[in-house]
């Protein structure tokens, strides 16, 4: 399934809500086993919450390897590479790495203890 991102959200990928709209456009096909091609041609501005809503939710029930295999990112401008990578890495760590969650909990515990 090919998804032209510009036609769904325009050239500015900057809201969580727009990310949810993009996610809704392909989630069902993804769950049915399709490979999704997200074409970012004509898009320009990107923030992490957009990817948090559009792609990161897939990592709750699927591995990062599977998501990267079946969700192809096409024509993503340079400005989008870091927020996308940041979003996926954080979500992958949070959902799949128990040590990351433990470390985060330890940080929280330390912060509370120092208070």
Does the footprint of another protein cover residue 6 (CB under 8 A)?
A: no
Of 24-32, 33-41, 43-51, 62-70, the segment contacting another protein by CB under 8 A is 43-51
Of 21-29, 33-41, 44-52, 66-74, the segment contacting another protein by CB under 8 A is 44-52
CA atoms of 54 and 79, how far apart (whole Å): 17
Does the footprint of another protein cover residue 80 (CB under 8 A)?
A: yes
DSSP annotation of 87 reads H
Nearest to 16 by CA among 47, 60, 57: 47
DSSP annotation of 33 reads T
The structure tokens 């330890």 sit at 106
Minimum CB distance to another protein, residue 64 (Å): 14
Does the footprint of another protein cover residue 21 (CB under 8 A)?
A: no
Nearest to 6 by CA among 36, 57, 44: 44
Burial 12-27 (b: 16+ CB within 10 A, else e): ebbeeebbbebbebbe
Minimum CB distance to another protein, residue 55 (Å): 10
Nearer to another protein, 30 or 95 (CB): 95
Q: Which residues bind another protein (CB under 8 A)?
A: 10, 12, 14-16, 44-50, 52, 56-57, 60, 77-80, 82-83, 86-87, 90-91, 93-95, 100-101, 104-105, 107-108, 111-112, 114-115
């Amino acid at each position: 399934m090919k998804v032209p991102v510009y036609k769904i959200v325009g050239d500015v990928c900057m809201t969580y809500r727009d990310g949810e709209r993009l996610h809704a456009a392909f989630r069902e096909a993804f769950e049915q086993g399709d490979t999704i091609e997200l074409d970012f041609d004509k898009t320009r501005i990107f923030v992490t919450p957009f990817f948090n809503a559009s792609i990161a939710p897939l990592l709750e029930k699927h591995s990062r390897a599977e998501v990267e295999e079946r969700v192809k990112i096409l024509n993503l401008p340079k400005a989008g590479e870091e927020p996308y990578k940041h979003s996926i890495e954080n979500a992958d760590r949070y959902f799949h790495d128990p040590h990351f969650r433990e470390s985060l909990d330890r940080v929280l515990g330390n912060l509370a203890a120092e208070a």
